[in-house]
Copies of this chain bind each other. A is one copy, B any other.
């Protein structure tokens, strides 16, 4: 099954034609977040940065799913945010729909809010979906199941 390709208005930290399809074969952690969401900033982002340093073979991809404070969470502010937080993995801006509160991908994948974490195995199948903070042990277990034994 193909990875559900996010509909983004722009990719940051990646080539313009970046797509999840290019990660095929690796587990993918897709992280839906908003830069003004406290649970995202205080818990999920530092956790993903700890994870990124462990070099697991899993690809981490962010999705900025703005569904509130649309006027505040704009692309220039997001760029400054990524810079200050030293986030270097690809982050897509979920495509806004004029007059709609929810952005495209968030609505299509029925994400309940932020932070939401989705894990896909190397075949592109969704294996885990978690809304809200997840503790390190549970995240490690969920992701480890998708990695090869070594």
Contacts and interface: CB of A to CB of B under 8 A. Distances in A.
B138 A139 contact: no
Nearest to A47: B137
Contact of A72 (B50, B80, B145, B150): B80
A118 interface: no
Copies in the complex: 4
**Interface size class, chain A:** 35 or more
Contacts of A77: 36, 72-73, 77
A143 B143 CA distance: 10
Contacts of A56: 141
A69 B146 CA distance: 39
A141 B140 contact: yes
Nearest to A75: B72
Nearest to A150: B145
A1 interface: no
Contact of A84 (B54, B69, B85, B141): B69
A80 to B, nearest CB: 4
Interface stretch (A8-16, A18-26, A38-46, A101-109): A38-46
Interface string A111-150: 0000000000100000100000001111111111111111
